Amino acid sequence: MRLPRLLISLVLCLWALCLWAADIVVVYPVDAVAPGERAYAKALAGHVRRWYGECGVETDLVADTAFRGGDGHRVAVLVDCYTPTPALLTQIRRGMDAGTRFVVCYSGSDALARLFGLRAVGYRANGPRRAMDFLSNRPKGAPARITQTSANRFEVKPAKSGAAAPLAWWIDDAGRRAGVAWWRTPAGHCWMTHILTGDGDEDGKRRLLLAIAAEQIPGVWTAAANRVLDDAAKELPALRTRVRALPAGSPRRIAAQRALALVEAQQDAARDALRRGGEAAYQAARDLRALMARAYAQTFIAPAGETVGVWDHFALGLWPGDWDRTARELAAAGVTDVYVNVAGAAFALYPSRTLPRKGTDDLLSEALAACHRHGLRLHAWILCFSCERAASPEAVADFRRRGWTLQDAAGKDLGWLDPTHPAVRARLLAAVKEIATRYDVDGIHLDFIRFPGLPQSLGPRTKTRFEAACGKAPNWPDCVSRPGGARRADFLRWRAGQIEAAVRDVRAWLRAEKPAVTLSAAVYGKYPACVDSVGQDWLGWLHRGLLDAALPMNYTEDAAKLREWLTTQTADRALARRVVSGVGVTAAESTLTPFETLRQIDAAAKAGCRGFALFDLDETLRTEILPLLKARKTP
C-alpha cells in the first residue's frame, strides 16, 4: 500500500511545482513607500511568501518597480501600497485586464482605490483593533476570525453602490465592530485597510491567503495538505525515537506512547482526507501536525525550578478586558513570569505623574492583580529610551524642545531619548521609583536600554558631552565612527558607560528601597558585538551584579546560530543561571514552528540557562505553544 501513496505524493509535488512556479506574485514596495519603510515592507512580503511556501505554494517576489501586469500571475499580493506611482498603477490595470486577482493592503491612494471601484476616505488612527471578523462572503476555507493588533488604517468606501462589499470588520477591545478591515469586489479582488503582520495567528492568515488563491488556482488545498503531510512524515521517525528513549514504564513514556498512537491514527485519517482533496484535507493535515507537536513536547522533561516567561507587548493579555482569564491560562501551561509592557519613554498605561499617560485604564493594576491571583510573577516592562508607541506627537515634540532626543551627525532629531543626557536617565529612574513604590510588582524589566545604533549616536549634543568627559574629538564624527578612528575606542567605552550608568542607578535604588523587586533587562543576543553596536555590555552587568536576570533576545530560525550565541552567553556557568533565553516565536526577526520552539527551549536548558521567555503573547502562542508547555510540564 505504501508505493501508490508515495507515487501520488510525488505526482502532486511535481504538479504543484509546475503549476505555481509563476502563478502567485508577492509585490513589495520600493517607490510606493518612504525609504525608511522599505525594509519593514519587504519583511511583510517575506511573511506572505513564507505562509504560502510552508504549504508548498511557490510564489514570485518582486519589487513594485519590477512588477508587470498581464505576465501570467493569477494572484498578486501587494503587501503595502501606500502611494503607488503612475507606472505601478498602469501595471496593476494591465493585470486586472488579464484576469489577475489582486490582494491590496494599506493604501491611501485614491487613484489605486478607483481601479477597484473604491474611493479613499483617509487615514484613521483612533484606537487599536484586535481582530478581524470575516463575513459569509469570505472565500471557502477562510477563517471566520483572525486576531491581529492594528492601531491605524486607511479607510476606503465603494465609489458607487454595489462596487464592493465588506469582507471583514475590525473588532475593538470591547468586541464591537470598528470599521471595515477588508473589502471584496464583484470580481473577487480583496482590499485590506491595514497590513497583514507576522505578530500572531499565522495559521489564520495562511488559511486566508490559501483560500483566496484556491478561487483562482485549482488544487491549492490538496497540494497544501500534501506538503504538511510530507513535513509530518519527516518528523515522525525522530518522534518515535524520542518516545523509545524515555524510561520504560514511566508515566511520561506511557503518556507519550498514547500520544504517538493518536498521531498515527490521525496520519491515516489525513491520508484518507487527502484522497478526497479540498480544504478538509488541509485541516486534517494541520490536525496531524498539532497532535505531533504535543506528542513531541511530552518527550522533553522540564528542569525543576526553571523560569518560563512570556512577554506581553500590549499589556492587554490574550483577551482585552479579562486579564484573569489570561493569567489562568498562562499558569495552567506552566508559565511562571510575565513581562508586561506598561510604560515607555513616551507613554504609560497606568495613571503616571512621570510619563505621558496613554488611555484611561490602569492596565498595570489589572494585570498585576490577575497574575498574583494565579501565582504568576509580574515584571513591569519599560521601553527605556525609545519613543515607540508615544502617547501623542506632542510628547515627542516636548522632548525635542528640551533637547532630550538623540541626533544624527547632521543634527536631525530622532525618535529616541539620549541616554547620555543626565535628565533622561533621571527620568527613567523616576519612572521606576513610581512603579515600584505604587505597585506590588515582582520585577522591573528594562528594554531598549541601549542606543539604536552607532550612526544614531553621533549628534552634536552627544559630541559636546563626550568631549566634556573625555577631551577633544577632532574630525568628528570620523574619529569615533570609523574603524581605527583616533577616538573610537574611547567613545565606545564612554558610550557603553552611559547605558551602564542608567542600569546602575536603577539597581542602587531598588537595592536600597525595594530589595524584593528584581531587575532584569531584554538585551541583544549577539554578544560582545552589542557592546560596540548599541552600548549594551549586559554580560558585564551580570558580572558586576547590576541585574538579577538578563533576557537575551535570541531571535533566530538558525539552530547553529542559536547554539553559537548560547555558548557565549553561558560560558560563565555561574552567570548562566541568570540568563533567560528569549525565544522569538512571532518576532520580526524569527517565526518559529512548534517543533522549532521546543528545540530552542531545549537548547537553552542544555546550555545551562535559568529558563526561557517567549515573544509574544498572541494568538499563535495561545493556540500552538501554550498546549506544548503544558504537555512538556506534566506527562
User: For residue range 287-331, what is the model confidence (pLDDT) as tens digits?
Assistant: 999 999 999 999 998 899 999 999 999 999 998 889 999 999 999
pLDDT for 635 equals 66
- 462-467: average pLDDT: 96
Which phi-psi region, left, alpha or beta, contains residue 608 (left: φ > 0; alpha: ψ -120 to 50)? left
pLDDT for 361 equals 92
Does the pLDDT value for residue 276 go beyond 70? yes
pLDDT band at 370 (very low <50, low <70, confident <90, very high): very high
Q: Distance between CA atoms of 494 and 335, rounded to whole angstroms? A: 39
pLDDT for 14 equals 40
Q: Calculate the average pLDDT of the chain.
A: 93
Beta strands in 449-578 (DSSP E): 518-524, 549-553
pLDDT for 125 equals 82
- 93-99: average pLDDT: 97
Residues 133, 204 contacting (CB under 8 angstroms): no
Please state which of the ranges 80-94, 557-571, 621-635 shows the lowest mean pLDDT: 621-635
- 221-239: average pLDDT: 93
Does the pLDDT value for residue 5 go beyond 70? no
pLDDT for 126 equals 72
pLDDT for 1 equals 39
Q: What is the dihedral of CA 242, 245, 249, 255, to 10 degrees?
A: -10
- 551-572: average pLDDT: 97
- 422-446: average pLDDT: 98
pLDDT band at 488 (very low <50, low <70, confident <90, very high): very high
pTM comes to 0.88
- 391-410: average pLDDT: 94
pLDDT for 158 equals 97
pLDDT for 479 equals 97
Which phi-psi region, left, alpha or beta, contains residue 471 (left: φ > 0; alpha: ψ -120 to 50)? left
pLDDT band at 19 (very low <50, low <70, confident <90, very high): very low
Q: Distance between CA atoms of 219 and 212, rounded to whole angstroms? A: 12
- CA dist 291 to 98, 242, 274, 294, 600, Å? 43, 15, 17, 5, 19
Q: Distance between CA atoms of 227 and 206, rounded to whole angstroms? A: 14
More confident site: 13 or 111: 111
> What confidence tens digit (pLDDT) does each residue in 125-174 have?
877 788 999 999 999 999 999 999 898 999 999 999 999 999 999 999 88
- 455-480: average pLDDT: 96
Does the pLDDT value for residue 460 go beyond 80? yes
Number of Cβ atoms within 10 Å of the Cβ of 328? 15
